[in-house]
Structure 1
Amino acid sequence: MGLETLIAGMPGTAAQGIIYGIMALGIFITFKLLNFADLSVDGSFATGGAVAAMVIISGHSWMLALVLAFIAGALAGLITGVLHTLLGIPDILAGILTQLALYSINLRITKDMSNTPISVDKYNLAVSLRYKTDALITVFVMAVIIIAIMYWYFGTEMGSAIRATGTNPAMTKAQGINVNLMKTIGLVISNAIVAFAGALYAQFNGNADVNMGRGAIVIGLAAIIIGEVICNALFKKKRNFILTLAFVVFGGILYYLFIAIVLWLKLSTNDMKLFTAIIVAIFLAVPYLKNKSNSSFRKAAKRGGKENA
């Protein structure tokens, strides 16, 4: 694959990156705002794709497919929330249990088909890899709308309560806020957005696979971390909530750009998970090493000041 092919495929690469970025926005709610390690997103991402595929195959519009995928994801988040808050199951284990259950549920949704094709030749889809530029514009507009809604919602009283729950649950509870309810609402919204992204992803690639959500949590975290590091580097103390959300999506684009370059270099696809782990590790280490370096310089400056005195 030549450089021209890589450049020609950039609109498609960016579109897929934005879809991952939308998924990362959902993961951002649990990972950053709620401080909740929700692993159910691997299942809910595939649920969104499965629901969308079956709705479209049934002859309904892609708009209904996206709405029903969103609702299905919300129900998946509700299951995790109930397992954690009402049954007292730890957050990680609650997410894993939901993820396991969703694998079977997704097969039921697709009538035991592990891969459900939805070709753009047969169906009217929201986005398609065949029409890269149109897909890029569509998912970009959707991402902007989702960011705007999230910015508004998490500025409301309930949204602020969800953020407070993740920051300091004990203090939030002391203020009379139902912490368990806030966690559940956050999980519902998070998985709904993830499933919405899964529905877009299935249409973009022309098929819904029950395994398409495998590793979604890692990709989402990679997008969040990459976006956060770059946002901090560019804006530092001027960073605000809407910029953070925007850079989560930008992180998704950069992540998939890295993947596209790996494929362009003809490196083994079997090493994809390894490359992802390395990318995440690097961006995780950058803030720590930078703070450590700054701390060392400050200590050296203090020692120098005392010696001069």
Structure 2
Amino acid sequence: MSLFSFMGALEMGFIFALVALGVLFSFRILDFPDLTADGSFPLGGATAAVLIVAGWNPWLACLAAAAAGAAAGLLTAWLYVRLGIMQLLASILTMIALYSVNLRIMGAPNLSLLGEPSVFSPFLTDDNAMWARPLALGLVVLAVKLGLDGFFASQTGLALRATGANPRMARAQGVPTGRLTLGGMALSNALIALGGALYVQVQGGADVSMGVGTIVIGLAAVIIGETLLPARLIWVVTLATALGALAYRLFIALALEADFIGLQAQDLNLVTATLVAVALVLPKIKARLWPRRAAPASSPATRATQAKG
């Protein structure tokens, strides 16, 4: 793999680390099967792109994109909590609706950001163009990871983790599970939309279809991270998720550049599906090979809730 391809994989890995952390929040912590990510990712990108073209500061555009993503997650949770629509169906309804919303926001299927400022513009020079963006994205992911670690260790974070692990018991202890689900889903999709906002600034444009497969990528990163670094401590869980996203993008880059395999750019979805399948099977293979080292059987949400720190 060339250095250019490696740095590009790091860029995408850090961006999708934000997506993976959002997916971790909904799927693992809240135990909420959420497909809103396929809509909130392009929603964040569309919002940021339109605002940057309109002259907004790119950082403020990213914050607005995160707020838009939070609104999308809040809508999904509201459909479930207030209207009683099942979780998966509620997220599908929101995802479908967001396709039209994103078209409305951009006013066209795509929007170019070539020549527009980005959050990376103040740091880019001719000498550091290759590594400045990955470094900046890595710092953003680190800040988000540390913020989540602190949140999960707080009283509200512990209550939210209890909500995902055992909502009936949490309600019996006086935990407002409905409000926490609304807030948790908002935060989850805010992170995913933030990833979308950074993605369009790296790619130089937004496209209404760029969210296709986002949830698959996020889940793959979470599963790969759990396989590479199984843990109960919550700060290790978030670290494993970020590392899983980086590993996923590096695997993709390696597969597409392996000439002897014969894969090309149009095979990206095939490679993605194969990697996800392998990631799903690896824990079972690992449990068979090293049964004594395998974690005791429990749901992912329970393992995350039992984590300390």
TM-score by length of structure 2 reads 0.88
Deviation at 1:291, TM superposition (A): 2.1
Q: Residue type of the partner of 2:254? A: I
Q: Whole-Å Cα distance in 2 between the matches of residues 52 and 38 of structure 1?
A: 23
Going from structure 1 to structure 2, the CA distance change for 1:275 and 1:172 (only over 3 Å counts) comes to same
Q: Whole-Å Cα distance in 2 between the matches of residues 296 and 64 of structure 1?
A: 50
* Aligned residues: CA RMSD: 2.0
Q: Residue in 2 aligned with 1:133?
A: 131
1:165 and 1:172 in contact (8 A); partners too: yes
Deviations 1:235-287 (CA, angstroms, capped at 9, x unpaired): x6xx5211211121111111111111222135133332222222122222122
Deviations 1:14-33 (CA, angstroms, capped at 9, x unpaired): 01111011111011100110
Q: Residue in 1 aligned with 2:288?
A: 292
1:47 and 1:106 in contact (8 A); partners too: yes
Q: 2:112 aligns with which of 99, 113, 117?
A: 117
2:110 and 2:206 in contact (8 A); partners too: yes
Q: Whole-Å Cα distance in 1 between the matches of residues 288 and 134 of structure 2?
A: 39
Deviation at 1:296, TM superposition (A): 9.7
2:287 and 2:293 in contact (8 A); partners too: no
1:38 and 1:91 in contact (8 A); partners too: yes
1:155 and 2:153 equivalent? Answer: yes
Deviations 1:185-237 (CA, angstroms, capped at 9, x unpaired): 110000000000000001000011111111000000011111111112xxx6x
Q: Residue type of the partner of 1:223? A: A
Deviations 1:50-75 (CA, angstroms, capped at 9, x unpaired): 00000100011111111100100000
1:66 and 1:199 in contact (8 A); partners too: yes
Q: Residue in 2 aligned with 1:306?
A: none
Q: 1:25 aligns with which of 21, 24, 36?
A: 21
2:69 and 2:193 in contact (8 A); partners too: yes
Going from structure 1 to structure 2, the CA distance change for 1:127 and 1:258 (only over 3 Å counts) comes to farther
Q: Residue in 1 aligned with 2:196?
A: 198
Q: Residue type of the partner of 1:209? A: D
Deviation at 1:178, TM superposition (A): 1.7
Q: 2:254 aligns with which of 256, 261, 278?
A: 261
Q: Residue in 1 aligned with 2:239?
A: 246
Q: Whole-Å Cα distance in 1 between the matches of residues 49 and 151 of structure 2?
A: 29
Q: Residue in 1 aligned with 2:266?
A: 270
1:59 and 2:55 equivalent? Answer: yes
Q: Residue type of the partner of 2:147? A: I
Q: Residue type of the partner of 1:123? A: E
Q: 1:146 aligns with which of 114, 126, 144?
A: 144
Q: Residue in 1 aligned with 2:72?
A: 76
1:106 and 1:210 in contact (8 A); partners too: yes
Q: Whole-Å Cα distance in 2 between the matches of residues 126 and 246 of structure 1?
A: 24
1:174 and 2:169 equivalent? Answer: no
SS in 1 for 2:153: coil
Q: Residue type of the partner of 1:93? A: L
Q: Residue type of the partner of 1:214? A: V
Q: Whole-Å Cα distance in 1 between the matches of residues 257 and 291 of structure 2?
A: 40
Q: Residue in 1 aligned with 2:81?
A: 85
Going from structure 1 to structure 2, the CA distance change for 1:259 and 1:91 (only over 3 Å counts) comes to same
Q: Whole-Å Cα distance in 2 between the matches of residues 75 and 29 of structure 1?
A: 16
Q: Whole-Å Cα distance in 2 between the matches of residues 276 and 127 of structure 1?
A: 28
2:4 and 2:130 in contact (8 A); partners too: no
Going from structure 1 to structure 2, the CA distance change for 1:83 and 1:231 (only over 3 Å counts) comes to same
Q: Residue in 2 aligned with 1:225?
A: 223
1:208 and 2:206 equivalent? Answer: yes
Q: Whole-Å Cα distance in 2 between the matches of residues 295 and 34 of structure 1?
A: 28
Deviation at 1:292, TM superposition (A): 3.4
Moved more, 176-185 or 270-279: 270-279
Q: Whole-Å Cα distance in 2 between the matches of residues 253 and 297 of structure 1?
A: 25
1:107 and 2:100 equivalent? Answer: no
Which of 1 and 2 has greater Rg? 1
1:12 and 1:135 in contact (8 A); partners too: no
1:29 and 1:190 in contact (8 A); partners too: yes
Q: Note the residue ranges of structure 1 that are not aligned, 5 or more in a row.
A: 299-309
Q: Whole-Å Cα distance in 2 between the matches of residues 156 and 25 of structure 1?
A: 18
